Amino acid sequence: MKFVNRAKEARIENTDEIPFAHRKIRPRNFISATRIYLTIFLFIISSSAIFLFLSPFFSQFSSKLTTIDGSNSSKDALLLGHFPYPEVSDEYLIDLYPGFKVHKDTLSALLKMRSAAAKDGVYLVFLSGFRSVDLQREIFYENKSIRNQIAIERAKVSAPPGYSEHATGFAVDIGDRDMRKTDFETSFESTPAFRWLLKNAAKYHFVLSFPKDNIQKVSYEPWHWRFEGTVEALRQFEAANRSAIDKELPK
């Protein structure tokens, strides 16, 4: 019995001589590190799941803050009451006649509208279509100088360069063939052409851009109409349409 007990005592005394790799009980610092790594892993997984769940809401919110060209559509994006518009690429432009270009998606509707008006005895004249940013710059600054107007006054009747609907190729200035003295004048509203447009332009997806008392505070322009008959056109004018519907400019 004494021999057996001494053997047991010897095994107990020699416990520290067992190689570290063979011990079944792991050190506390190893367990702590494992818990830390596991916590980090679970945090990453849960964060990813939350982000994926909320991403549709973030994208919907951000879409309200940006225009289609990526610029901020908040009030800061406006310049003297005008929204920014990118200049359309030449490949999307088509000639109606020499010196008059429009977006190719606009041409068919424009011609159909002119033909329908003629059948009713009204003769539309297309005065201005696409205008480049450079041309708009000349119009804005030269006319401002000639008329001795400060920028904020001129902006009521002419958009600053980079902020004109004409740059998209979707905007058209229209006159009455039989009353040319009303071209680019508010008196155009008294013409048969304008009365016909008010009644029929929507059938061809044309909208009056700057009606009386418009939210952008741009001067009333009965001659200025824009085409909204494609998804691309609607995207271009989404900020302007939304402000008109909400009766306030983006904040």
Contact between residue 174 and residue 117 where contact means Cβ atoms under 8 Å apart:
no
Are 209 and 120 found together in one domain? yes
Give the residue, 29 or 139, on which the prediction is more confident.
139
Give 150 or 18, the one with higher predicted confidence: 150
Q: Are 242 and 138 contained in the same domain?
A: yes
**Domain finish residue from 38, 63, 88:** 63
> What's the chain's average pLDDT?
78
In this structure, are 27 and 79 located in the same domain?
Answer: no
What pLDDT does 79 receive? Answer: 80
Digit-coded pLDDT (tens) for 85-94:
999 999 999 9
pLDDT higher than threshold 80 for residue 179? yes
- Domain with residue 225: its CATH number is 3.30.1380.10
Same domain, 127 and 39: no
Supply the range of the domain harboring residue 134: 75-246
Q: Is the model's pLDDT at 204 over the cut of 70?
A: yes
Lowest mean pLDDT among 63-77, 132-146, 163-177, 197-211: 63-77
Q: What is the pLDDT of residue 155?
A: 57
pLDDT for position 78? 82
**What is the tally of structural domains in the chain?**
2
29 and 136, same domain (yes or no): no
pTM, full prediction: 0.66
Q: For residue range 45-80, what is the model confidence (pLDDT) as tens digits? A: 665 655 555 544 444 333 333 333 444 444 447 887
Of 11-15, 27-31, 71-75, 237-241, minimum mean pLDDT range: 71-75
Range in 54-68, 142-156, 158-172 the model is least confident about: 54-68
